[in-house]
Amino acid sequence: MIQNIVIVSGGRLGNVDFFRRKLNQTGDFLLICCDGGARHLAGTGLAPDVLIGDMDSLLLEQLELYEQQGVKVIRYPAGKDFTDTALALDYALGLEPQRIQIWGALGGRVDHALANLFLLVRAKEAGIAACLLDEYGETFVPVHEAVFENAEGCLLSLLALSSRVEGVTLEGFAYPLEEGTLELSESRGVSNIIVAKRARIHVRSGHLLVVRYWQKDVFPEAD
């Protein structure tokens, strides 16, 4: 059984050294690249196990090299109905792993970034932990609960991805909450701070987007 799957999408990857360090901490994993996401692997010493997409963003020479190396290539027509990242996630969910990391899913096109955020709901509904990662932080939709250890001082924001998120309980935060409700388009969950060695989020119903930054006061810069 595959425990960890790493998906590399075609958006902004960011700090490659940070990417490699995180992968070294992941243990064994299956590496899936979404078409042009394979370009992010240049210089990392990594090759995908699976390459998915319409192959419109990858040089023919690189594609042929991967095929010669035995990479599994799953091609889709250019007029497909879903993004390469969505197709990669569906493939990953079909393997029933315990965890899925998605890199290169944020930055660049706003429409793609938003679509990737909503993919987290699909993973949650399948009962599989998935997150979007970059050097600034992690973004995920917890199935029911999320626990943070030794993350004091880190900034964290909560946003509803469904019309209502009910039974939200926050423990170990500067602004705690007990059995609260967050509604779509509401911003009162933005910019909380972890203040305890062990912090906990519990959700009774609905889809709660969690954005947790790795370091205090270190955020993406506006282009």
Q: Above pLDDT 90, what percent of the chain?
A: 61
pLDDT the model gives residue 222: 46
Residue pair 134/40 in contact by the 8 Å Cβ criterion = no
This prediction has a pTM of 0.91
pLDDT at 154 over 60: yes
Same domain, 112 and 39: yes
pLDDT band at 190 (very low <50, low <70, confident <90, very high): very high
Same domain, 14 and 93: yes
pLDDT the model gives residue 172: 97
- Full domain range(s) for residue 124: 4-135
pLDDT at 42 over 90: no
As a whole number, mean pLDDT of residues 135-164 equals 94
Q: Above pLDDT 70, what percent of the chain?
A: 97
Q: Residue 200: count other Cβ atoms within 10 Å of its Cβ.
A: 14
Q: The domain that contains 120 carries what CATH number?
A: 3.40.50.10240
pLDDT the model gives residue 219: 67
